[in-house]
Amino acid sequence: MSTAQETSVQESPVQHGTTFDALRTQLQEAATAFADGPDALEGILLGIVDDVDRAVREPLEVFPVCHHSPASAVAMARRLREKQPKVVYLELCEDMAPLLTELRNCRLPVAVQAFASEVDGFPAEWAPLSVVAPITEASAEYQAIAYALDTPGVELVLVDRSSDHVFQWQADDAAARSAGEPADPDTPPTAEPRFAELEEHLLHHGRVRHWSEWWHQYVELPLGDSDHDTYRQVMLLIGSLFRRLAPGDPARVRVDEDRERYMWTRMREHLAASGTDPADCLYVCGAFHAASRVAEFGVHGADTFEISAPSASTWQYGLIPSSHAAIEAQFGLAAGSVSIAATQWAKNLKRTRIRPFRLAGQAGTKKAAKPRKAAPTPAAPEPASDSAADMLSGFLRRPPVLDRLDEAELLGWSVEIVRAARRAGYLASTADAIAVFETSILLAGMRDRAKPTPYDFQDAAITCIEKDTVPGRRDVRRLVEIMMGGDRIGQVGYDALPPLARDVHDRLAPLGLRLQQRGVQRALLDMASRPELEKCSDVLWMLRHLMPQGTARPIMGERRLGERPIQESWDLALGTHQRALIELGYEGVSIEQVLEQRLRRTAYGPQATTATVLQAVEDATLYLRSRRLADELGTRALEILATERSVDGAPEVLRRVRRLLAYYRTGEPVLPAWIESFAKTGYAHYCTLLPTAFTDEDATVRQVAAMLGFLFSMEGLALSLGCDRTQLELAFAQSHPQEPAKVALLWAARVHLGQLSRTELRARCDELLGNPLVVPAYPRYLSGFLHALEPVPQLADFVVEAVSNAFARLPDPVLLPWLPTLITTLRSDGAELAPLLIREAGRIFPGRLAALDTWVPPWLDQPAVAAVLPARGRAAALLTAHPQTCDAVADLLGCGGTWTAPAPARAGAALVTRHPDTAQALEALLAARQR
């Protein structure tokens, strides 16, 4: 940066002439009379006069403005028609210049935006970077832009620091603060008043609530009809006052002064390159910067400010819709102040009959009426003179002009607010309109105003109409803001949209909707009768994935792997979320490109996990139908899986890899190589982590169950690819869980592996229920069995049995506290577990209420059957009644004789006697079929 930063702020001496001598004397006397310590106050007041004197003597005319001020806009339009400058220097980021011509394709208010999603040279947490400069019709900046762009031979030059330098200086300031840079030693502590004290004083004595109301009453209205010299000197006075009373933060002062050095350096460079006479130029900037005190002030500055090179960040530029509310939030204004300013702008134009400048073809603006008489030829601009007239002394001595009451306007406001209140649900009447009218006049009189301002009217309406409650969505304050102009929202035209946004509008054109319109629109897509709408469906699903919630919301229809849509219904709000669509265009030229970039960024990001990369694989297949990208991201998922040392994402990994495997098996002739490697690597990976996960307190039961689900469901594929089942057996041999839920999960897994029979598992559960010391922990075992349905779904009947036994045998002090855990488990895993349990319970339990009294659970009926089956029991009686079965079996086994022969010759009966288990199993099967 420049060495001028390291020098102390110095005020160049002003050649005191006769222009402001009277004002200096007057302020000096006032400081002596009203201040306890006149030295500080006198220095501020005389310094302000010096700043004004210095600015008005500058050969290049400095035009101070207040952003989004109708008084500044009127003064700008008047001055441009009088002076007709050849070059307009504007305080706006210099890299935004190419976008200004696109303003004619937009409806104001809009904002010029610089956006960088990928940063280089700045902290990564700052991304994305964004600089926004809103523009309204009631702003001096727009008047200067419209004049320069539509007037032949006029050049518009943006001179403020670029968007990249905005963040460069922020980074430098952050580095200085983190390094503990001390305050400027040449700036000792001072007892001078600051702006906060002045603001408090002005608000108190002006009897206003906030700064926007004070500015409207004491600056906007008086300057709305003033001449150019008066306006300019008053705004310079205000800018110098704000500057001298600003908080004494050295970093803030350094940034403000560097901005001024930057702008004057750019202007001197342009003047030297073009050879333009400074008298033919106009410099438009904020009043704060117009009263600059830096040594490089002016076109004849001695030093040159060194401007650093831009960083390697890639910046994108575009126009985005703005609104009055957004402008108020950005500039710290009161709610509704910008809408009131827009109303005041229209009044100023009507009162002063000044023709404003508007860009040719500007959307949403009224065409200027042709003057009845020929406009007089503007006089040639007078050369700059050091003896400019002192307009400040008269302005400051003049008492405030009391505008006469406009009864028609106030009456119209009163009637309109009552009408709006009735529509909003208030019980307002004509009497309320009269009360609002009279109360507005009363409040204005109490505040020393002859004419009620919109803020007085707002207070009166709240007092007279709003009672204890607000019946609708809007209170009276909001109704007044809407009535005064409301929150106007701009719109960027089709021609000014980035290529991506135009491409989206073109591809959605078959829907026949007005996509630029704000609000929600319903789109019906019948792909069966109109196959061309399937491409619109693809765009909508990608927009739903990329855009904020509510931009594209599916009402009917879904997109799954391997399925093709038939009919869909959507709610679209592209016009409402136009800014998000424009910012999406900064990332690429098509939504497919942006989606691919985001999927890659997710997969290769530092926070990427196996589950998130598999989700990216699924999205690439689902939305882009790109096998190339899916294979690339799948390989990335395989790399991350091999390096993970935790099982946090195991449930999500299992769910997604199952879905992808099912899709490839049904839709592809051969499985992709990456998913085969994923199954093989995952099998070995989870076998290695299984013993640790069973004993790790941080690993939940659901995560361990997901690991087992992966191992059991991928076992066939993994073994076919060369894996060894011994790995799994060794992992189970090394697993020794202590938590009851994981113990139950291990038992269920061993049943699946054949290491534990169902009879043994049932016996262990009965043993747990029979042990009074273990009964309080039994619900935790049941939670493990519930999670076991993920890897071992064939145990659903046993889980139903275990839960039923728990409800039958557990005491209430144990059962009731467990019920919330059971419910939460079923809710969290309901999509996978609840259907299995419900289906199995429906098969086991009786379907009618009357049969419930005589119903015996099958797990209770089996021991009774075994007890009544001796060598010749019920099964033998059953076979005696049907001898053909035993005769046929005996013949197959090579035994002679018939069932009806004498007892010694009954081979079938002999078989039943020697092998009763067969008869018992047959009877149990028949009994189950009868139930």
Q: Residue 9's pLDDT is what?
A: 35
Residue range 801-825: mean pLDDT, rounded: 82
Quick one: tokens of 273? Answer: 């390159």
Q: CA–CA separation, 24 vs 47, rounded Å?
A: 10
Quick one: tokens of 49? Answer: 């006069």
Give per-residue pLDDT as tens, 837-853. Answer: 778 888 888 878 778 77
Among 407-411, 812-816, 884-888, the minimum mean pLDDT is found in 884-888
Using pLDDT thresholds of 50, 70 and 90, give the confidence band for residue 858: confident
End-to-end CA distance of the chain: 91
Residue 562, amino acid: G
Give per-residue pLDDT as tens, 436-469. Answer: 999 998 988 888 777 788 888 888 999 899 877 7
Residues 6 or more apart in contact with residue 494 via CB below 8 angstroms: 105, 502, 505, 516
Give per-residue pLDDT as tens, 164-185. Answer: 988 888 877 777 666 555 444 3
Q: Distance of CA 110 to CAs 104, 190, 303, Å?
A: 11, 42, 37
pLDDT for residue 578 is more than 80: yes
356-389: buried (b, 16+ CB within 10 Å) or exposed (e) per residue?
bbbbeebbeeeeeeeeeeeeeeeeeeeeeeeebe
187 in Cβ contact with 285 (< 8 Å): no
For 28-63, the three-class secondary structure string (H helix, E strand, C coil) is HHHHHHHCCCHHHHHHHHHHHHHHHHHHHCCCCEEE
Q: CA–CA separation, 327 vs 331, rounded Å?
A: 6
pLDDT for residue 506 is more than 90: yes
Beta-bridged to residue 319, according to DSSP, are: 112
Give per-residue pLDDT as tens, 711-747. Answer: 999 888 888 888 888 889 899 999 999 999 999 999 9
Give per-residue pLDDT as tens, 380-409. Answer: 444 444 446 777 777 777 766 555 667 888
191, containing H or E segment: none
243 in Cβ contact with 293 (< 8 Å): yes
Question: 661 by DSSP, 3-state: which?
Answer: helix
Q: CA–CA separation, 297 vs 243, rounded Å?
A: 15
Beta-bridged to residue 63, according to DSSP, are: 284
Q: Residue 621's pLDDT is what?
A: 92
| DSSP-based helix, strand, coil % in the chain, nearest 5 | 60, 5, 35
Q: Residue 8's pLDDT is what?
A: 34
Residue range 353-372: mean pLDDT, rounded: 69
Q: CA–CA separation, 813 vs 824, rounded Å?
A: 19
Quick one: tokens of 18? Answer: 């006769």
Q: Residue 361's pLDDT is what?
A: 78
Residues 6 or more apart in contact with residue 309 via CB below 8 angstroms: none
pLDDT for residue 230 is more than 60: yes
Q: Residue 189's pLDDT is what?
A: 42
Query: pTM of the predicted model, to two decimals?
Result: 0.72
Residue range 522-549: mean pLDDT, rounded: 92
pLDDT for residue 428 is more than 80: yes
Using pLDDT thresholds of 50, 70 and 90, give the confidence band for residue 158: very high
Among 652-666, 687-701, 888-902, the minimum mean pLDDT is found in 888-902
List strand residue ranges (DSSP E) for 195-254, in order: none
